[in-house]
Structure 1
Amino acid sequence: MIGICRAAALAVGAFMALAAPVSAPVSAQQGWPQKPVRMIVPFPGGGSNDTLCRIVGDKLAAAWNQPVIVDNRPGAGGNVGAEIAFHAEPDGHTLLCSPPGPLAINHNLYKSIPYDWSKFEPVTVLAIVPNVITARLDLPANSAQELIAYAKTNPGKLTFASQGNGSTSHLSAEMFIHMTGIDMVHVPYKGEGPALIDIVAGRVDIFIGNIAAALRFEKMHQVKFLGLAARSRSPVAPDVPDAAEIGLPDLIASAWFAIVAPPGTPAAIVQKVNADTAAALKLPDVRAKFLEQGAEPQGDSSAATAAFIKDEEARWRAVIKAAEVKLE
């Protein structure tokens, strides 16, 4: 009898040992979040990346009854912040809120990066900010087609600004050059602000950057918009023709901002962050604040986000290869 009881006890103990690894994560997920959630932004404060993530972070903090702390970790084109997020504990208490560079571009630009961009757990796309062809006011071209014609009759005379080598504004211009067969001279700046200031001053001819940064200058009639690098017109500048309307349907170049989680973050947590973020993006005040930034709210599913990032990576990889752009 004692032997039977002992055998039964051992069997129960063995079952509990096997069950423990499965049940522990489930109970942890049910209590998530158990502490403040850190949202890493891989660029400095004050930019579109920082602003949009803070708007959503405030709503998530209220929904989760836990602080959402935006942690700016700039450096190396966003690689510094992305590396920190990549190696964080995959328990849902660290997220990365990032533009395209760290998630779809940098591994094609740099010789090596300290994380595997493809292993992040995609959560959702927060917003898309289409790029727009912005020109100095006195440039003798008032449409994209006139710009192309002018460039072809004045090869090598036009200059284009970017917010830095390898930035989306640089690559967008390279895409435009490749599609149209024109020749322009690249003038890289340290950020979109200085680039736009020199467009306003007439020291450089065009800038193909996100509409959020350029919109206030256009509203003050200090620059002009020649066309949008997007599949449809933007609600913040409805009079600007889209890519197909300017005869370049494949000129699709946007800044976008996505939330991803460290590799191995439980699917249940990923789905909760996705659902709560999508709900926040539907709130009227959030939509209004996003549109003020020139950003179109998204809220895609995790699967759709994965597919979107994959498509964007392929698009920018082709541009980088064609333009032979490389960074150390």
Structure 2
Amino acid sequence: MQKLLAAALLSGAAFGANAAEDFPNRTLSLVVPNPPGGLVDTSARIVAEPLAAALGKPVVVENKDGGSGNIAYQYVARAKPDGYTLLVSYSAYHVGNPNLTAKLPWAPKDFVPVGLVTVSSNVIAVHPSIKATNITEFVAEVKSSPGRFNYASQGVGSLSHLGTEVFKQQTGAAMFHVPYRGSGAAIQDVLAGNVQVFITTPPSVMGHVQTGKLKALAVTSPKRHPMLPDVPTTAEAGLPEYQLESWVALFAPAGTPQPVIDKLAASVEAALKQPATVQRAQAAGIEARFEGPEALNQRVATELAYWQRTVAAAGITAD
């Protein structure tokens, strides 16, 4: 019996080593849980080309949006764990959805981390029809007109949803939630004035803020955004406890051989260090930042616990 067990272990180790040695020998797929445009899709496309160069094989981006990200997550969770199908995971879906929905078709344990790809602050953007020019004035304006203000999100469970609910909790500014399928549809209604507020990542609103089609009241990071230097931080705007960071990372299905994960992680790190990759991310208003599997695993564990507390305290549900 012991000999059979030892043989099985050796066979598994050999499979993992052989898988890494032969990997990759065909096209890889990056599955995005959002429609084109916005932080997650932009991050996937920023890393795809240099990752293909690092691996020596094509890397394609597949958009499988819908279901607050759950369609893509379930798809990758059920994919063959061979390293060829990777999830481009959005922080709010990865650590938010498990705390919002009791019966998800996936769980965080269904994935193993490959590496962090991008990190982004968020922008509190409003339609120009709003008279407020800062956070204090905005909160006062909302409170003076109960039932008037709506806020957009990229969908139930997105960080724009969770983050705005936390903003409401901290300020007492009551706003009605209007979820959309991704940032593209949301931004169109905000630009039209149908929805007044959108707390989202810079790629969605930066150009509109720069042309005056939207007003940016603050950025939700410790430092000002380099592409929006005149926009104060939330701390500068009088809301120091309100900070909101989004991240995008690559995950593989659980069971993917460790040597394959190691090779993917090293290739992602190399891709993100390319000057052209860094510049392309900066131009999109986001930061290319690598974290390896161990650090990313710790990040997920920490944020799962944080959002569990936050969601419970705010009474947020997948409405």
TM-score, length basis structure 2: 0.89
Residue 58 of structure 1 corresponds to which residue in structure 2? 49
Distance in 1, Cα, partners of 2:258 & 2:279: 31
**1:69 is aligned to 2:79:** no
Corresponding residue SS for 1:122: strand
Which residues in structure 2 correspond to 1:146-295 (within 5 Å)? 146-295=137-286
Task: After TM superposition, give the deviation of residue 151 of structure 1 in Å.
Answer: 3.1
Q: Does the CA-based 8 Å contact 1:129-1:212 persist in structure 2? A: no
Task: After TM superposition, give the deviation of residue 146 of structure 1 in Å.
Answer: 2.0
Q: Does the CA-based 8 Å contact 2:91-2:248 persist in structure 1? A: yes
Task: After TM superposition, give the deviation of residue 241 of structure 1 in Å.
Answer: 1.8
Task: From the superposition, tell whether residues 22 and 308 of structure 1 become closer, same or farther in structure 2 (CA, over 3 Å).
Answer: closer
Q: Among residues 83, 87, 90, which one is paired with 1:96 in the alignment? A: 87
Number of residue equivalences? 317
Letter in 1 for 2:303: E
Corresponding residue SS for 2:236: helix
Distance in 1, Cα, partners of 2:160 & 2:12: 48
Residue 101 of structure 2 corresponds to which residue in structure 1? 110
Distance in 1, Cα, partners of 2:142 & 2:5: 76
Task: After TM superposition, give the deviation of residue 155 of structure 1 in Å.
Answer: 4.3
**1:123 is aligned to 2:97:** no
In the TM superposition, what whole-angstrom CA distance separates every residue of 1:68-111 from its partner, at most 9, and x where no partner exists?
23222223111111112112222222211121243111122223
Question: Which of 1 and 2 has higher RCO (CA within 8 Å, sep 6+)?
Answer: 2
Q: Does the CA-based 8 Å contact 2:20-2:263 persist in structure 1? A: no
Give percent identity, aligned residues only.
35
In the TM superposition, what whole-angstrom CA distance separates every residue of 1:264-306 from its partner, at most 9, and x where no partner exists?
2223322222222122112121112212222111111212211
In the TM superposition, what whole-angstrom CA distance separates every residue of 1:214-260 from its partner, at most 9, and x where no partner exists?
11111111111111112322222222222322232332223321101
Corresponding residue SS for 2:121: strand
TM-score, length basis structure 1: 0.86
In the TM superposition, what whole-angstrom CA distance separates every residue of 1:183-207 from its partner, at most 9, and x where no partner exists?
2233334443343333333343321
Letter in 1 for 2:69: G
Corresponding residue SS for 1:126: strand
Corresponding residue SS for 1:239: coil
Residue 313 of structure 2 corresponds to which residue in structure 1? 322
